[in-house]
């Protein structure tokens, strides 16, 4: 057991070690051209975002400050292959509190978009996107719940125009992107 833990620790350390070849010097500029992420280079690592982030409170690895630093350092592959970028709840607390107006939630969105373009997305997000395409709602609403609404005298839920949604997804390239995604 002890040996396993040591081996695990060694493997983790190895994974965390950086090589010059891991660095993509253009990455920070690539990110700073994306809407909302223009101020990525202004982060001076004060840590306010991490102190106030509700996800960082419950996860030992999720640190918004670190995500920005990794972007600044150009560690593109490490970031885009890391599931941690999908943990942000987009509550925007970091945006409200950052003294440098860095816009971390927007940077995280940019990272997720890049990851999706490379064909990677957690299964839950793919399911939500497929549900929206099929029904206009993020979750498939069970028939029983709809019946219950009717029994309670509640109005019917608005119907989404699935055709318009499909058109929008084709125009934006989302449909193709979803086909490409390997979960």
133 binds ligand SF4 (CB under 6 A): no
Residue 8 CB: number of other CB atoms within 10 A? 10
**Of 70, 79, 85, 102, the one binding ligand SF4 by CB under 6 A:** 102
53 binds ligand SF4 (CB under 6 A): yes
**Of 29, 61, 92, 137, the one binding ligand SF4 by CB under 6 A:** 92
129 binds ligand SF4 (CB under 6 A): no
The three-state secondary structure class of 182 is strand
72 or 135, CB closer to ligand SF4?
Answer: 72
CA neighbor of 110 nearest in space, from 53, 67, 160, 163: 67
Residues 5-44 that bind ligand SF4 (CB under 6 A): 43-44
Structure tokens, 20? 């010059």
**Of 27, 28, 31, 64, the one binding ligand SF4 by CB under 6 A:** 64
Q: Rounded distance, CA 24 to CA 80, Å?
A: 12
Q: Rounded distance, CA 95 to CA 157, Å?
A: 33
Q: Rounded distance, CA 20 to CA 112, Å?
A: 24
State the angle between helix axes of 64-73 and 104-117 in degrees (0 to 180), rounded to the nearest 10.
60
**Of 71, 105, 110, 111, the one binding ligand SF4 by CB under 6 A:** 105
74 binds ligand SF4 (CB under 6 A): no
Interface residue list for ligand SF4 (CB under 6 A): 43-49, 53-55, 64-65, 68, 88-94, 98-100, 102, 104-105
């Amino acid at each position: 057991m002890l040996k396993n833990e040591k081996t695990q620790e060694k493997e983790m350390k190895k994974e965390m070690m950086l090589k010059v070849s891991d660095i993509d010097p253009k990455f920070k500029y690539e990110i700073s051209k994306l809407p909302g992420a223009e101020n990525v280079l202004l982060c001076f690592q004060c840590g306010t975002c991490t102190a106030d982030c509700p996800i960082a409170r419950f996860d030992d690895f999720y640190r918004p400050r670190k995500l920005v630093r990794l972007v600044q350092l150009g560690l593109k592959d490490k970031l885009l292959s890391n599931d941690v970028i999908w943990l942000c709840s987009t509550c925007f607390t970091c945006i409200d509190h950052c003294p440098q107006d860095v816009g971390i939630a927007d940077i995280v969105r940019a990272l997720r978009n890049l990851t999706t373009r490379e064909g990677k997305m957690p299964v839950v997000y793919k399911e939500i996107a497929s549900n929206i395409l099929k029904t206009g709602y993020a979750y498939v609403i069970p028939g029983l719940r709809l019946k219950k609404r009717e029994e309670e005298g509640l109005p019917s839920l608005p119907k989404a125009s699935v055709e318009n949604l499909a058109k929008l997804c084709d125009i934006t390239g989302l449909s193709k992107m979803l086909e490409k995604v390997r979960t």
